[in-house]
Amino acid sequence: MASTFDSTLTSLGINRSTSSTAATATAKSSSLGTSDFLKLLTAQLQNQDPFSPTDNSQMVAQLAQITSTSGIADMGATLKEIQTKLGATSTSDALAYVGKTILTEGATAYGRSSGGLAGAVELDGDATDVTVSIRDANGQVLNTLQLGAQKAGTVSYDWDGKTADGTEAGTGPFTVAVSAANAGAKVISRGLVWAPVAAVSVPASGSPTLTVPGLGTVAVSAVRQVG
């Protein structure tokens, strides 16, 4: 089989040498495409011994192999295209966010009409102490929530809208800061706040973005939850 393949390559002017020149050519093109295969197959048929023609079953096997390989390559390209389309956010998908409330990373939060606010803390690791500090527009601390020990992941909290001395804090806006530690060692954490989507920006190129009061522009991919 190897000698037949070598003779076919030789008839096409291809020398399967181990020299540096051949090695360089192989490095530039390490695989044969469908066109190369068909050239080799045609040359093989043209140069076969008429008294000992190529076995039909062997030829069918070769054709099946290149067809299978080509089909897999086409399937891979198709799946990649589908993945790209599924991962993209369409204009209609982005417009559906308008008027809804989203949970996203941020430090500015507005109180609910019924008072207080809800949010979450995103922890990159386990923590023995998680704290949420809520301040007014002037930077004055209104209340501090102690969430205690928490596992890595997202931890929700709900503030009743009252200051540490029990008075109503109003509707905000409030500044929310979070911190976490594990036996004294800092744990990376992010504060997540609920905020309404006021508008959607659809650029000529690129992904749509959401306009959120107090937070500015938010990428759709940054939305953790929709309320």
DSSP string covering 10-36, please? HHTT-----SHHHHHHHHH--S--HHH
> How confident is the model at residue 92, as a pLDDT?
72
* pLDDT given at position 20: 44
145 and 196 inside one domain: yes
DSSP code of residue 202: -
Phi, psi of 100 (to 5 degrees): -100, 165
Q: 30 and 48: one domain?
A: yes
Same domain, 202 and 137: yes
CA distance 118 to 102: 12
Contacts of 133 (CB under 8 A, 6+ apart): 141, 144, 145, 176, 177, 178, 179
Q: pTM of the predicted model, to two decimals?
A: 0.59
Domain match, 99 and 164 both: yes
Once rounded to an integer, what is the mean pLDDT over residues 5-10? 58
Name residues whose C-beta falls within 8 Å of residue 104's C-beta, 6 or more positions apart in sequence.
192, 193, 195, 212, 215, 218, 222, 223, 224
Question: What is the reported pLDDT for 87?
Answer: 47
pLDDT digits (tens, 9 = 90+) for 120-139: 999 999 999 999 999 998 89
| Structure confidence by residue, pLDDT tens digits, 182-192 | 999 999 999 99
Give the domain-ending residue among 42, 71, 87: 87
Number of domains the chain is built from: 2
Are 103 and 200 within one domain? yes
Q: Name the 3-class secondary structure at 48.
A: coil
Q: Does 77 lie in the same domain as 155?
A: no
| Confidence band, pLDDT 50/70/90 cuts, at residue 69 | low
The residue range of the domain holding 58 is 2-87
